[in-house]
Structure 1
Amino acid sequence: MTPPPGTAAEPRFATDVITFYHPAFWGLESADAVRELAFVDAGAFWGRTLDALAEAGVTGVELTFAPGDIESALRAFGSASSFRRALEARGLSVVSAFVAGSDAPDWRQGDNLSTIVADAERRAAFLADAGADLLVTGLPMRTTFGTRPPFFVDAAYMSRMADIAHAVGDAVAAHGVRLAFHTESNSTLWYERDIDLFMALTDPRYVWLCPDSCHIALGGGDPVAVARRHAQRIALAHWKDAVGPIDVELTIDDTVFAQQQPYMTELGTGIVDWRGWADAMSRTPGAGTVLIELDEAPDPVAALRAGVAVARSARG
């Protein structure tokens, strides 16, 4: 088992690159303008992002969907090893990368296993060269409630997902990378029952968990209870707060992530039991990293500093 890269007294604090996607941080008017800036000048995008991380005192970063993805880092730095050196020059490091974006192969049918595995191997090779050992992904989204024909998240479906997860977990392990699954709202790994079923069907040597405290709470679950039940398999967790459970049936389409945003809030202002969560996290293999997730913060430096303060207080 890979030892956690922090200490019980002071973990490594990290965040997802999405923290830096708010147009106000860039002096721009829209999210599209931010994406355009990052595409035209990836070096400028990453330079300012990494400087802001260092200023906030957050030393770890999780790559995600564009513009803060693997392809963007390669455009800016040319190689994973060059990206790693740029990070190290600022006292930073890559924690993980999230499998996201339109180029990520769809797991739903399971008839494209070779494509899924090849994509994961490519990402794992980048992570290994960048000095990281964790690839985070999720399970496919549910369909809107009432859709015909209905889509059931049943034992047969989860068995197919487990088979794919095993193949991917085995493939990335050859690069020294672990595969962990994120508990995204409205996905097929959202409710406590989903998580328990998937964990029961997968081999702990090949499949890890990345619980998100906010998303579990949005599904009406207890993030602390989930973390305690699956503590031995938690390689990383997303520390994020929720206003309350989602109390309506959302339309699950390209806008679903925007629909979820009103239910999310800054650490310490929602319903998550942070002391209980911190205690549960301290007993996991991922205890050495605290990844604070703040989607599109207008002032990411201030927001990260506030989030770190909440996490430190919760840890006692």
Structure 2
Amino acid sequence: MASGDRLRFGVDLVTFFHPGFWGVADDGAIVEYARTEPRAFWDKILDSVQASGVTGVELTFSPFNWQDAIKTYGSVEAFEAELSGRGLTLCSGFFAELEAAGDFTQAEAQRAIIDKAERYADFLRACGSDIMVIGAPLRQTLGARPVRFHDFDRAKVIADFLNRLGAILYARGLRLALHTEAHSIFAAARDVDLMMLLTDPAYVHMCPDTAHIIVAGSDPVQLVDRHHERMIIAHWKDAIGPMPADTLIDEHIHDRHRPYFCGFGLGRVDWPAWIRLLRDRSFEGWAILELDAASDPVRDIANGLTLVRQALLPIYR
């Protein structure tokens, strides 16, 4: 089997969340354009993914989510036809509800999350995907009061819910993959080790994001090597280095991440070591060439894919 068959490349649609790509003033204007001109909005995204050279699409938050896609094209079948007509595959879907749920250890909140996850899972399966990438809850800002320690007892409560959610998704044909989101409870090396220890490997898998692991102050190659058997999909992204330990963690934390991300091959990720790890551990699956809000995403994704094919895939072979 050729290396190109064992590694398949896609993009997360957050890559297109940049005002410059849409010719508008700010993020709010992107959302407004998606609301008023949904067909033009989605056609441009899918045409751009096709033009970039990757073949996979990972859905994410609104206006790039599954509900928006169905509303725009009229049905699940119509959306899948738009993908396949361009030679594209829905490789995965990002689920951000844990981060937004507040105290999801409460039974009512858990029921709401499970309901949303089940409906999302049914959509993903109908489009041929079997992976739901899930963002973990955010950590607390260093020094905040009252202090909420992320210790064994708290982590176990979260892990128990993830185990149950993973089993529910498995029954619907989906695999749960935890995403290493910087400033969440699943990004820094110790936190990832703890959650991997407490969750059942049969039902809870891993989606490492190389850039977010660096922003969290850890080494993606060393970290993923310890848990390589849990990785079922990965986000390939670069970063210039770790953020300060006392970074404010609030609703704007994802905006604060952006200046630390950089073009593929221009940051701290040791890409030759990364691809050797995937080769030596016999990883096969989707590689998501994600960029957080690129002003020229087609060029950036295509350039990243060229670097991968010329410099990395020969190592992988």
Mapped contact 1:15–1:291 kept (Cα < 8 A): yes
Mapped contact 1:234–1:285 kept (Cα < 8 A): no
Select 1:81's aligned residue among 73, 77, 83: 77
Other-structure match for 1:65: 61
What is the Cα deviation at residue 305 of structure 1?
0.7
CA distance in structure 2 between the partners assigned to 1:51 and 1:240 by the alignment: 22
Mapped contact 1:39–1:72 kept (Cα < 8 A): no
Corresponding residue SS for 2:3: coil
Other-structure match for 1:3: none
Mapped contact 1:233–1:284 kept (Cα < 8 A): no
Mapped contact 2:208–2:235 kept (Cα < 8 A): yes
Q: Which amino acid aligns with 1:34?
A: I
Distance 1:257 1:232, change over 3 A: same
Other-structure match for 2:18: 22
Distance 1:249 1:25, change over 3 A: same
CA distance in structure 2 between the partners assigned to 1:304 and 1:210 by the alignment: 19
Deviates more, 1:190-199 or 1:111-120: 111-120
Other-structure match for 2:186: 189
Corresponding residue SS for 1:187: coil
- Verify: 1:109 aligned to 2:108, yes or no: no
What is the Cα deviation at residue 20 of structure 1?
1.1
Distance 1:284 1:22, change over 3 A: farther
Q: Which amino acid aligns with 2:66?
A: I
Select 1:304's aligned residue among 297, 301, 304: 301
The 5 A counterparts of 1:40-51 are 40-51=36-47
* Long gaps (5+) in structure 2: none
CA distance in structure 1 between the partners assigned to 2:163 and 2:33 by the alignment: 38
Q: State, as a whole percentage, how many aligned pairs show the same letter.
A: 39
Other-structure match for 1:8: 3
Other-structure match for 2:125: 128
Q: How many correspondences in the alignment? A: 311
Q: Which amino acid aligns with 2:69?
A: A
Other-structure match for 1:241: 238
* Long gaps (5+) in structure 1: 1-5
What is the Cα deviation at residue 296 of structure 1?
1.1
Corresponding residue SS for 1:147: coil
What is the Cα deviation at residue 64 of structure 1?
0.6
CA distance in structure 2 between the partners assigned to 1:73 and 1:301 by the alignment: 20
Mapped contact 1:107–1:116 kept (Cα < 8 A): no
Other-structure match for 2:151: 154
Mapped contact 2:3–2:313 kept (Cα < 8 A): no
Q: Which amino acid aligns with 2:216?
A: G
Other-structure match for 2:86: 90
- Verify: 1:314 aligned to 2:309, yes or no: no
Q: How does the TM-score come out when normalised to structure 2? A: 0.93
What is the Cα deviation at residue 310 of structure 1?
2.5
Backbone CA RMSD of aligned residues: 1.8
Corresponding residue SS for 2:132: strand
CA distance in structure 1 between the partners assigned to 2:83 and 2:131 by the alignment: 17
What is the Cα deviation at residue 284 of structure 1?
5.7
CA distance in structure 2 between the partners assigned to 1:23 and 1:101 by the alignment: 25
The structure that is helix-richer by fraction is 2
What is the Cα deviation at residue 52 of structure 1?
0.7
Distance 1:286 1:75, change over 3 A: farther
CA distance in structure 1 between the partners assigned to 2:82 and 2:100 by the alignment: 26
| CA displacement 1:166-193 (0-9 Å, x = unmatched) | 1111111111110000011111112101
CA distance in structure 1 between the partners assigned to 2:99 and 2:106 by the alignment: 16
Mapped contact 1:62–1:97 kept (Cα < 8 A): yes
What is the Cα deviation at residue 248 of structure 1?
4.3
Distance 1:104 1:286, change over 3 A: farther
Select 1:221's aligned residue among 204, 218, 221: 218
Mapped contact 2:17–2:30 kept (Cα < 8 A): yes
| CA displacement 1:20-59 (0-9 Å, x = unmatched) | 1111111211111111111222221110111011111111
Structure 1: 4+ residue segments shifted above 6 A: none
| CA displacement 1:141-167 (0-9 Å, x = unmatched) | 011111111011110111011111111
Mapped contact 1:104–1:119 kept (Cα < 8 A): no
